Structures are given as structure tokens and as C-alpha cells.
Amino acid sequence: MPWFGLGVYKVSNGNEAVLSVKEAVSYGYRSIDTAAIYRNEEGVGEGIKQSGIERDQLFITSKVWNSDQGFDTTLDAFDTSLQKLELEYLDLYLIHWPVAGKFKETWKALEKLYKDGRVRAIGVSNFHVHHLQDLIRDAEIKPMVNQIEYHPHLTQNEIHQFCKQEQIQVEAWSPLKQGELLKNETITTIGNRYGKSPAQVILRWDLQNEVVTIPKSVNFNRLRENASIFDFTLTNEEMEQISSLNKNERIGPDPDNFHF
């Protein structure tokens, strides 16, 4: 799984999705993260097709939405996603949210898809420690990834440490807090030392924390800029300065309190 990829949340289906994927691939991105609820799988699939990159060089993720959770309905949702993407397999399939009373049956479906060779890895998204403990208790296969809201204002130390212990890879969604962190003085000051933007500093912080990161942008200059994070290293002191910005502050719902 690449450490860095493109998220396409709120990217419009059709031309915007196609061009975003094509441009991202041309800048070296090899991981694309979509979901059924984003309603842009067709555009992502077309962008993949037009990118000219061999399928086995790309890492494609999608997610089963809450209303499709359950064993048979998850299998159907997976088929629908594959058809829309026009792919023969996925690299990673995730449970989008921990729907109470359903996510265990949903996980059984993901285990089947994995055993059948239709997906190369399976995981979850927005799971707290107690959700993971509950799932692992009855699972044949442990989740391989937990994609969570993660940024300097929400460092999620407890879930991060638990996932490390259980060898579950943490992946960050909204790593830039929808742009809110880009004017932070601490991050800006650190960036100035390296000639790097605040976004590049935050994404580098993710990588050095061993967190996979998937920033979203439809701006081609930002797509290129976001990918340029492998030519500098933050010091331990700078890492701690960024981590100390934590406020346990979310922009998305708490996985213990969502209603969709």
C-alpha cells in the first residue's frame, strides 16, 4: 500500500474526477481512494483507464456505504463498485462507518471477498478502539487498515497506539482539516525553514508518524505540491511541536455518534 495517495471525496463524477485521477497519476500518485457514497466511481474508473498506467501499478480503494451493510447487501455493493470502476478487483475495500448491529455481518462479507481473491486487502474506516475490539473478537481475519480522521488538531493517540499493537495500518482522511490548518503559525514557521508549504509539512508529519495519507485536491498545482514531500525530514522537535497542536477537535462526526 503506498504511503501517499489521492482522496476524491466531494470530487464531482465525470470530467472533474477523470482529470483529477489522470493528473494525479501523471505526478506520481499510485493510490486512489474513493467510496460508493462519493458517487464518482465511474469518473475514477475512467481516469484510471485514461492514465495509461498498468492496473497492477495502482492501488485502488473503495468503501461499502452504511445503507448497504449486511452480508448479502455488501457483496452486491462490492459488485456495483467494481462495475462502476470497470475493474476486475480492488486493492482495498473498507467498511465506511461502524453501523451498530451490522458491521460484523458486513465484515464476514469482506472476509469472503478477500478469500475469493476479489480484493487484496480489507479494512475499516472510522472505527474507535472498542469497535475494533468487538470486531476482532469474532473475526477470522483482522482488519488490515483503519482509515480515520487524523490531523494535527486530532492526533487520536489511543487508536493510533492500539492499531500499531494490532498491526493495523492507520490511514488519514482530511489530513489538512479541510484547509483549516494551512494558516497555523507553528506549521507555517516550520515550512519556511524547508521552503515547504504548510500542507507539505502536515503531510510529511503524517508519513513520519507512519500514517498513510490521502489529501484531496482538484487543483493541479496543489496536486503536484502535495506529492513533493519525500525530499525533506522533520526533526523530532518539529514533530512534537506539530503533535502538541492537538485539540481532539473533529470536522467530521464522532464514530460513536453519527446518524446516517
* 3-state per-residue secondary structure call for 102-162: CHHHHHHHHHHHHHCCCECCEEEECCCHHHHHHHHHHCCCCCCEEEEECECCECCHHHHHH
Amino acid at 108: K
Name the nearest CA neighbour of 59 among 123, 15, 6. Answer: 6
Provide CB contacts within 8 A for 70, sequence distance 6+: 102, 105, 106, 109
- Evaluated on CA atoms 84, 87, 88, 91, the torsion sign reads negative
> Which residues pair with residue 257 across a beta bridge?
254
- The answer to whether 21 and 86 have CB atoms below 8 angstroms apart is no
Distance CA 151, CA 97 (A): 19
Catalytic residue among 9, 27, 29, 38: 38
- 194 an active-site residue? no
Burial class (CB in 10 A: 0-12, 13-18, 19+), 13: middle
Q: Which residues are catalytic?
A: 38
